[in-house]
Amino acid sequence: MKGPRLTDTQSRGMRDGTTGYATGTPCLVKDSRGHAIASGERYRLTAGDRPFDFGVSPVISEILLVAVTVLFAAAVFAVFFGLFPLPYAEEEPPEILKIVSISHYNDKKELTYAGVITLKNIACEPLENREYGIWLSVNGKRQNVVIETLNSRDFIETHHNGVRLIKGAGPQGDFWESGYRGVIDILDKMILPGDLVSVEVYRLETEEVISYSELHAPSVFVQ
């Protein structure tokens, strides 16, 4: 809000074209050279055709622009060379060996709360059975099940635990071909009706998980 305008007498006392606005009681003050200046919250001084500019100087503007440019270039450099990697969502492994069914019945069709898991290779490429193993989890908790080969002929010779056998067209050879199925029969009562079962296929050499699949065990028993 503008203060009271200086009186005509005060305005005439200022140099060429000088006008002023002041808050409170306006007053007229002279500098050391005898030039009139106006006191107050807001004023504008002109000397002839040259106004006094109280804005940011062009030099300071250029300095700020250069500084912002340098900071931006440094940030791009850091991200590009991995000094400050951008956050990203960790990708889940694909589903290669898919759980297609879980049964609680044994081969004699007897209800024994068995854990017969049927897997199918739904990928386009075969898996080399001797290079991969399986981790089994029930309701998010990894079970004490050790499967260190997907080759059924090598299964007996390998260290395994919690598994009765591996069988089927997929595990019987060196490669688990695309579209082929295989069966993993784990110990009875390890999987109960309604449990969430997950199978992770991992590379033996690095323990890298290359396939993940999950399925709920049937609540209603199906033979």
pLDDT in tens, 76-92: 766 566 555 555 456 78
* CATH topology classification for 97-216: Immunoglobulin-like (2.60.40)
| Out of 56-60, 65-69, 102-106, 144-148, least confident range | 56-60
At 153, is the secondary structure helix, strand, or coil? helix
Cα angle, residue 60 at apex, residues 54 and 63 outer, rounded to 5°: 170
Q: Please report the sign of the dihedral spanned by the C-alpha atoms of residue 170, residue 173, residue 176, residue 180.
A: negative
- Cα dist from 13 to 17, 19, 43, 44, whole Å: 10, 10, 15, 15
102 Cβ partners below 8 Å, 6+ apart?
Answer: 115, 116, 117, 118, 191, 197, 215, 216, 217, 218
pLDDT in tens, 125-182: 999 999 999 999 999 999 999 899 999 988 876 667 899 889 999 999 999 999 999 9
Q: What is the pTM of this model?
A: 0.59
Domains of the chain, by residue range, sit at 8-51, 57-85, 97-216
